[in-house]
Amino acid sequence: MSRPLTAVLPEEARALRRRRRMMLLAVLAVAAAAAFMTIGVTGSWEYALPARSRRLAGMVLVGVAIAVSTVLFQTVTNNRILTPSVMGFDALFVLLQTVGVFFLGAATVTGTDVRLRFLVDLVALVAFGAALYRLLFGRTQHDIYVLVLVGVVLGTLFTSLTLLVSRLIDPNEFLTLQDLLFASFNGINRQLLGIAAGAVVITVAAVLRLLPRLDVVALGREPAIGLGVGHRRVVNQALLAVAVLVAVATALVGPITFLGLLVANLARQVLGTHRHAWTLPGASLIAVIALTVGQLVLEEGFGFTTSLSIVVNFVGGIVFIALLLREPRL
């Protein structure tokens, strides 16, 4: 991994600049959040503030979840273009939810507690995700490009399956479930905010304890084992964290394919380091900034409401292509 811009500077200057940039990101994130809360409020503030703060909370949770899960996933798989969404994990989550409705019926599903339902979906995702991971990253070493391509096709496959299953569900039941299954930035699932916040906080706390070992794991399997880190154990823990975070983000706003890819790579670029103590918070801050500013600009500037994920996919796809072209040998 080359760092052409920073390589010339001495270590101290680099550290100083890194710290300064991190501060800047933090300030920007706070400013963006404040702007999101206040700009364009017409009418009653008593109504606007709580409503907007709920949406802001949702965006912060989603941003952190996507950023952290992507950075972790890239560390574990040891590359820069694979992300959980590119591998179809979030599409898998939507599929599992739909299949659940198909087998249990809408009445049972809407009747159960949101938190219990989320937990069940989460367990299913962890189980299927683990199976998928073993299949792709298990005994046979597959070429990285094959993995990405398989992941992209898996995403399409899961989406097609979701469509298929949702067509098999009774149309009336499906209608009542549409809100429940297809979340967006505009309709952040309010009931889930509490449990989502809890899950993110616990997971991030657990990840923080892993930090030093993650840096070693990022070196690759053999060096990590050589340095005395239980590679397999750390990888399993990291993947569990990834599953939880993907589930949280997807349950809140639905799949956003390229956000993680964007913020993880931007964070490494801006901070000039691969150390997780920097990239994890950096990527999270960038994600929060991107989501709030993007939503604000689209809403206030263009009067759109739900197209943020389209824009993110547009920009993210271009970045992905650039990454592919620039580093044909990853």
Instruction: Work out which of 13, 163, 175, 277 binds another protein, going by CB under 8 A.
Output: 163
Site for another protein in 243-272 (CB under 8 A): 257
Q: Does 297 bind another protein (CB under 8 A)?
A: no
Least distance from C-beta 172 to another protein, angstroms? 13
Instruction: Work out which of 26, 161, 206, 293 binds another protein, going by CB under 8 A.
Output: 161
Q: Does 310 bind another protein (CB under 8 A)?
A: yes
Least distance from C-beta 2 to another protein, angstroms? 19
Dihedral sign of CA atoms 118, 119, 122, 124 in order: negative
Nearest by Cα to 154 from 224, 92, 109: 92
Instruction: Work out which of 2, 42, 44, 140 binds another protein, going by CB under 8 A.
Output: 140
Instruction: Work out which of 38, 53, 108, 160 binds another protein, going by CB under 8 A.
Output: 160
Mark residues 64-83: x for contact with another protein by CB under 8 A, - for none. Answer: --------------------
Q: Does 328 bind another protein (CB under 8 A)?
A: yes
Least distance from C-beta 304 to another protein, angstroms? 7
d(CA 152, CA 145): 11
Instruction: Work out which of 16, 39, 127, 318 binds another protein, going by CB under 8 A.
Output: 318
Q: Does 313 bind another protein (CB under 8 A)?
A: yes
Q: Does 178 bind another protein (CB under 8 A)?
A: no
For 133, how many CA atoms within 13 A lie in the half-sphere containing its CB?
21
Site for another protein in 4-33 (CB under 8 A): none
Instruction: Work out which of 23, 27, 201, 324 binds another protein, going by CB under 8 A.
Output: 324
Q: Which is nearer to another protein, 23 or 318 (CB)?
A: 318
Q: Which is nearer to another protein, 236 or 307 (CB)?
A: 307
Q: Does 208 bind another protein (CB under 8 A)?
A: no
Instruction: Work out which of 16, 39, 149, 202 binds another protein, going by CB under 8 A.
Output: 149
Nearest by Cα to 114 from 239, 252, 244, 256: 252
Applying CB under 8 A, which residues contact another protein?
140-143, 145-146, 148-150, 152-154, 156-157, 159-161, 163-164, 167-168, 257, 304, 306-307, 310-311, 313-314, 317-318, 320-321, 324-325, 328
